[in-house]
Amino acid sequence: MKYQRILLKLSGESLQNNGKDTIDPFILNQYADEIATAYQQGVQIAIVVGGGNIFRGWQGSSKGMDRVQGDYMGMLATVINSMAIQGALQAKGLKAKIFGGLEINPVAEKMSKFKAIEALNAGYIIIISGGTGNPYFTTDSAAALRGIEIEADILLKGTRVDGVYTADPEKDPSATKYSQVSFDEAYKKGLKIMDLTAFTLCRENHLPIYVFDMNQKDNLSKVIRGEEIGTLVSL
């Protein structure tokens, strides 16, 4: 395996089915299958999932709600998604444990670098919920922070596109995909990979980012094996 320990970032919206179901059981099971296959290859896996399928902090503030209150509501949404992923993995016989930026007994133990790494070494897949535990930070930033904390080899950003393009491929048919791009080049060209806080955390702590299409079967395992199917962002 090219990578021994990964941080997998998933969006909350990816768990929806065309916006009809908040958490689609078929998609949830599909993701659990992909994660299980990767795990069986001997890689240690940590997961951070967003909460946008349920609630985003900025949605509340745009309608007059207090931003801090809204952000905490968004953090709780990530806990719900994390529990769904944990349940799907446990149904496949895998050990999965939830840590959190917010401690919620008995659901999520307070995030601790040392306890998280201990769980990974004990064979658990860990899901880190609750963002950073602080308002004004996105789950992208939380993924970067947690990836650095657990000393992951790479941050894998599973999306619905197969990498980073020169422009939005859904809007510009002439857009071309990068197989590899440096942090500096991505910043200069304004490529939309992660929010600036997350991007800077990864750059300054030498945590590479790999953007790939999570919805294609076996793609997660291919990335772990080192197959070039997406875009690598590194120094």
196's tokens: 């600036």
> Which CATH number applies to 5-234?
3.40.1160.10
Report yes or no: 28 and 15 within 8 Å, Cβ to Cβ.
Answer: yes
| Full-model pTM | 0.95
Confidence of residue 21 (pLDDT cuts 50, 70, 90): confident
Q: Is the pLDDT of residue 59 over 70?
A: no
Instruction: Name the nearest CA neighbour of 156 among 1, 4, 7, 5.
Output: 7
Distances (CA, A) of 196 to 117, 130, 137, 203, 205: 27, 20, 11, 10, 14
pLDDT at residue 57 in the model: 73
> How do the domains of the chain map onto residue ranges?
5-234
According to the model, what pLDDT value does residue 151 have? 98
Helix axes 139-149, 113-121, angle to 10 degrees: 70
pLDDT of residue 17: 78
**Statement: residue 176 has pLDDT above 80:** yes
Three-state SS string over the chain comes to: CCCCEEEEEECHHHHCCCCCCCCCHHHHHHHHHHHHHHHCCCCEEEEEECCCCCCCHHHHHCCCCCHHHHHHHHHHHHHHHHHHHHHHHHCCCCCEEEEECCCECCCEEECCHHHHHHHHHCCCEEEEECCCCCCCCCHHHHHHHHHHHCCCCEEEEEECCCCEECCCCCCCCCCCEECEEEHHHHHHCCCCCCCHHHHHHHHHCCCCEEEEECCCCCHHHHHHHCCCCCEEEEC
